[in-house]
Amino acid sequence: MQERLAFARAAYDAVALYDPKRTAVELDLTDNTNLWGIPPTAERTLREMPVAAVTRYPTLYAAELKAELALLHGVSADMIVTGCGSDDILDSAMRAFGEPGELVAGSEPSFAMIPIFAQMNALRWRGISERSTTAAQHTGHQPDIDALLATTPKILYLCSPNNPTGALIARASIERAIAHARGVVFIDEAYAEFAGVSSIDLVARSERVLIIRTMSKAYGLAGLRLGYAIGQPSLVMEVEKSRGPYKLNAMAERVALSALRYDSEWVAEHVALAVTLRERLAGALRAMGLAPMPSAANFVCVPVAQCVAVGQAMRTRGVAVRPFPALPHVGDALRISVGPWPLMERMLSALAPALREVNG
Ligand SMILES: *Cc1c(COP(=O)(O)O)cnc(C)c1O
């Protein structure tokens, strides 16, 4: 443990650098990015990038991209804010709405970055275990909305479909959270394309809700760092102020515009493929005697005892999946990104011997 610098911020004592333990491996199924690659027009735009995209500053607040995203979602451009990945949106929005010391609450398990962003903004984090599966058998793993609301957080974070479980949050729960929230409700929809449902329409009804989306997953552009959020203009304006100018780089904006204008068919096709293969993968896991959790995203979460050791044993066979030890109401589990079927077969052929090796 390093000694704190005398002049460092006290709130940063507990902040650790993010470390998902990612190392080079032949087949990486740990981050739920698009394993089919980049959409074709987006790729062409990237390859033909004019030098001016690098030598000159990007646009201030990505107005052209906001207009295109507004078209896609049927909202006005002043209801959209873009960012350097949705991570940047989450960070900026926490800074915009949370005074230091105020509370961010969210269901557990969920996106691992949220407590880190709370800490980075000197906010307090409170994780509330999701309701037990027995109480929520029909809807899968669901957040405990009453317990979350009872903490009266300044920021309530919900993720649907949820990372890492894959569970879609029931519409009624989201509506109730928004109706009773005293602060702002963030709904992280990083995987909404794969679920085919969204809460974007709720934005029209409430000035408290911010929907957060990304082009890192369905659009295959994780390395360019493109995120955005949708909310009422007054809400979005505060995030824009907190985000600051020039945050979206010029190459990212140009590639994103191409993808949105010309690649929607490619994206839809590959989303559909991911959904089909997700169910096929779940079937293959069941055939091995495992019980994968229902998923609305482009990954499958499957309970596996000794998940860290199993993950290690798979890694020695050239395949990386993400272990989640001791998830509430689940226990140890592996989260596996869905991609082209040959990759899934390769993964299964590493999982089977790894399970035998570790769990007998
Ligand atoms: C991947 C992911 C993100 C991060 O997306 P970026 O736009 O790449 O920053 C946000 N939320 C969840 C739940 C994710 O899984």
With tokens 């005892």, the residue in question is 305
Q: Whose CA is nearest to atom 12 of ligand 1?
A: 190
For 40-262, CATH gives 3.40.640.10
CA of 265 to the centre of ligand 1 (A): 22
pTM of the model: 0.96
CA–CA distance, 101 with 76 (Å, rounded to integer): 34
Per-residue pLDDT of the chain (360 residues; tens, 9 = 90+): 567 788 988 888 888 888 877 778 999 999 999 999 999 999 999 999 999 999 999 999 999 999 999 999 999 999 999 999 999 999 999 999 999 999 999 999 999 999 999 999 999 999 999 987 654 454 578 999 999 999 999 999 999 999 999 999 999 999 999 999 999 999 999 999 999 999 999 999 999 999 999 999 999 999 999 999 999 999 999 999 999 999 999 999 999 999 999 999 999 999 999 999 999 999 999 999 999 999 999 999 999 999 999 999 999 999 999 999 999 888 999 999 999 999 999 999 999 999 999 988
CA of 69 to the centre of ligand 1 (A): 18
The residues with which 250 forms a beta bridge, in sequence order, are none
CA–CA distance, 307 with 334 (Å, rounded to integer): 6
What three-state secondary structure class fits 321? coil
Tokens of 315: 């890694």
pLDDT score at 229:
98
Ligand 1 surroundings by CB, under 6 angstroms: 85-87, 111, 159, 163, 188, 190, 214, 216, 222, 227
pLDDT score at 74:
98
Domain with CATH 3.40.640.10 in the chain: 40-262
Q: Whose CA is nearest to atom 2 of ligand 1?
A: 190
Query: Domain 21-37+265-359: which topology?
Result: Aspartate Aminotransferase, domain 1 (3.90.1150)
CA of 38 to the centre of ligand 1 (A): 17
CA of 326 to the centre of ligand 1 (A): 22
CA–CA distance, 75 with 83 (Å, rounded to integer): 18
CA–CA distance, 339 with 44 (Å, rounded to integer): 22
Tokens of 99: 């005074």
Q: Taking a C-beta distance cutoff of 8 angstroms, is the pair 216, 64 a contact?
A: no
Domain with CATH 3.90.1150.10 in the chain: 21-37+265-359
Which one-letter amino acid corresponds to residue 165?
Answer: T
Q: Cite the beta strand spans of the chain per DSSP E.
A: 27-28, 80-84, 103-108, 124-129, 155-159, 184-188, 209-214, 226-230, 299-303, 319-320, 322-327, 331-337
Q: Cite the beta strand spans of 164-222 per DSSP E.
A: 184-188, 209-214
CA of 358 to the centre of ligand 1 (A): 31
pLDDT score at 4:
77
172: region left, alpha or beta (phi > 0 left; psi from -120 to 50 alpha): alpha
Q: Which residues lie closer than 8 Å to 150 by C-beta, 6 or more apart?
A: none
The DSSP code for 70 is H
CA of 160 to the centre of ligand 1 (A): 12
Pocket test for ligand 1, best of 35, 87, 91, 337 (most atoms within 8 A of CB): 87
Pocket test for ligand 1, best of 29, 217, 295, 324 (most atoms within 8 A of CB): 217
Give CA separation, 42 vs 27, 54, 163, 244, 253, in Å: 24, 17, 27, 26, 11
CA–CA distance, 28 with 315 (Å, rounded to integer): 9
CB-based burial, 64-84: b 16+ in 10 Å, e otherwise: ebbebbbeebebebebbbbbb
Give the nearest ligand 1 atom to 33 CA: 1
